[in-house]
Structure 1
Amino acid sequence: IRNDMVALEEDGYITQPHTSAGRVPTDKGYRLFVDRLSEVKPLSAAERRAVQTFLRGAVDLDDVLRRSVRLLAQLTRQVAVIQYPTLSRSTVRHLEVLAVTPARLMLVLITDAGRVDQRLLDLGDVITEEQVAQLRTLLNQALSGRRLSEASAVVADLPEQAPMELRDAMIRASTVLIETLVEHPEERLLLGGTANLTRNATDFPGSLRQVLEALEEQVVVLKLLAAARDPGTITVRIGEENEAEEMRGTSLVSIGYASHGTVLGGMGVVGPTRMDYPGTIAAVRAVARYVGEILTTR
């Protein structure tokens, strides 16, 4: 055994942090372990049922993601991170047009990810229920199924295609919709279980402050999660494999979650390089799959 330990240390797979310590795996050692995982034990049937029941109780997209991040943190006892769906990858599922008053409408834009945007539209004149229905039909024929990134160009051409009696209303509706579609709010990140960092403080080689600041600023983690493009494919970044210096004492296990086969965002777990990789991979994969199923059926 001693000879094996010497060989592993010479090859860079284990190291001795200080003279009174035992040997521990290096980033290279953990990478070998993760790459050699031929099979990851899935969650138990009871765990899967609990995950499904908890997530299916969500009332909207925000609730789905909030529940997911809490669930991941509880399952892994690490910090869970989930990226909100990026608008550029979403498509228009439906556009509802509702008459608030005879001279005011509400436009409700619903995406395939379950995102809902509402806008009030003041008209220059009163509009009949029949004209409201006609406006709704024209807008849905033009926009349903289109990516948000291309929808604004389509909306700009709608006034010319509308009947004369609807042209003014369509101009006003198009203006409001273009403002909605071209908005690019900062991508948001939901965090859960940040207290788990302090519980595992001894497992981090450096200062926790850098890690906490990186999580708080979100940009670094969002960049890492944005790399998730294939639904169902787990990515594991260990220690020095992270480009951001403040994350080099951590490991990130991430995956993309999808609706109708399109990746909407990323989710994952941040923790020390010494973590339960098989258990974490199983939890991240399962939660991403169930989130995708829920978003697909809504």
Structure 2
Amino acid sequence: MTQSRRMLVLRAVVEDYIRSQEPVGSTSLTRNHHLGVSSATVRNDMAALEDEGYLVQPHTSAGRVPTEKGYRYFVDRLATVVPLSPAQRRAIGNFLGGSVSLEDTLQRAARLLARITGQVAVVASPALSKSTLRHVEIVPVSMNKLLAVIITDTGRVAQHTLEVHPLPSTELLATFSETVNARCVGQSLTLAAKTIVALGKTVEHGELSALAQALSRALTSMAEDEQATDMYMAGTSKLAHQHSGTEMAPLLDALEEQVVIMRLMNSLSEEVTENGVGVAIGSETHTPELMHASVVTSGYGHINATVSEGSASAQAGKPVAFVGSIGPTHMDYVTTMAAVRAVARYLTGIIGEDATDADS
């Protein structure tokens, strides 16, 4: 009995169980797969796999089902994530291409991923704390108030009212705005806030110290806003109808704890494999409610190494947000991993990274 053949048997069991969700027997394996050995030999291999913890026999005389260890072996041996078909990639582009805003894009992405996988899809918006400055526009709105329109690299737009006494002249305001954009574009919001304070202390812009302080505070508040990351979810009701209540009830409870899901997927998206996706199965999620669930996730976008400073430099290259799918451990890993990666790549292009095909 060779180890390589035994693992081919394991892969066949996982594939058949994912497809049928019924215990798999040796007879059906020899009928459905070209294993090159008899049913009795396959039965012996399955018994050895059970002894090694890859399979379990739920009932006497019944077939076997994969364990968490079995699923992990299967996922780890997926040499490459099979790309979506050209038609599927075009469908992603067409569906998401009709978005009118970043928020609309992320909501559509969640609905699309849920439709492809039949599972719960979760898409997070880019955290402002991970964003960089793209443009600042400052315009007068009253005798002593200015409106600062702040645009980040991820497409987020924020408006802040700044009270300044006295109101600077149009010429001074224009010069200051030009300098801010020249010096701060591409910097993290925290670093840009410090740069602007320093500008207010220069001879050239000394008259605008109060404006510099007010704009700096606005940028700092954006960077520190823990509520700046929204999470869009889709597919919960469909998953609940497709699977038994006892199996899905803990998972549905976990989905209500959005902070837990956010933390798990953030962590997983920063530790993706060479395939571009991260997979946590059952106990690997370290979440009791997800003991019978799997999480597949991928980050999109990335923090620019040139704009980080101090301890933030450790974050350089990490994703600005994540997209993921949550379902039972017997999910279709091949389809789910491909879909999550494709949507993540599309979103990376959307928010201003180098434009690439959704799954090139």
- The TM-score normalised by the length of structure 2 is 0.75
CA contact (8 A) 1:96 1:109 kept: yes
Alignment of 1:20-169 (within 5 A): 21-161=62-202, 162-169=204-211
- The offset of 1:291, in angstroms, is 0.8
CA contact (8 A) 2:283 2:291 kept: yes
2:266 is aligned with 1:252: no
Tell me, in whole angstroms, the C-alpha distance in 2 between the residues paired with 1:122 and 1:131: 16
CA contact (8 A) 1:89 1:262 kept: no
Tell me, in whole angstroms, the C-alpha distance in 2 between the residues paired with 1:171 and 1:25: 60
Amino acid across the alignment from 1:244: T
Amino acid across the alignment from 2:158: D
2:265 is aligned with 1:221: no
Query: Which residue among 221, 238, 242 is the counterpart of 2:285?
Result: 242
> Which moved further from structure 2: 254-263 or 267-276?
254-263
Tell me, in whole angstroms, the C-alpha distance in 2 between the residues paired with 1:102 and 1:134: 19
Aligned to 1:201: 243
RMSD: 2.4
CA contact (8 A) 1:42 1:282 kept: yes
- The offset of 1:102, in angstroms, is 5.0
- The offset of 1:164, in angstroms, is 4.2
Taking a change above 3 Å as real, the CA distance of residues 179 and 294 of structure 1, as seen in their structure-2 partners, is closer
Tell me, in whole angstroms, the C-alpha distance in 2 between the residues paired with 1:169 and 1:3: 78
Taking a change above 3 Å as real, the CA distance of residues 39 and 150 of structure 1, as seen in their structure-2 partners, is same
In structure 1, the gaps of 5 or more residues are none
Aligned to 1:290: 346
- Higher gyration radius (CA): 2
Tell me, in whole angstroms, the C-alpha distance in 2 between the residues paired with 1:146 and 1:193: 37
CA contact (8 A) 1:200 1:272 kept: no
The structure in which a higher percent of residues are strand is 1
In structure 2, the gaps of 5 or more residues are 1-41, 305-316, 356-360
1:29-65 deviation digits (Å, cap 9, x = unpaired): 1111112222333211111111011112212221111
Identity over aligned residues, as a percent? 42
Which structure has more relative contact order (CA 8 Å, sep 6+)? It is 1
2:240 is aligned with 1:184: no
Tell me, in whole angstroms, the C-alpha distance in 1 between the residues paired with 2:337 and 2:220: 41
Tell me, in whole angstroms, the C-alpha distance in 1 between the residues paired with 2:328 and 2:187: 41
Tell me, in whole angstroms, the C-alpha distance in 2 between the residues paired with 1:52 and 1:22: 42
- The offset of 1:135, in angstroms, is 2.4
CA contact (8 A) 2:50 2:56 kept: yes
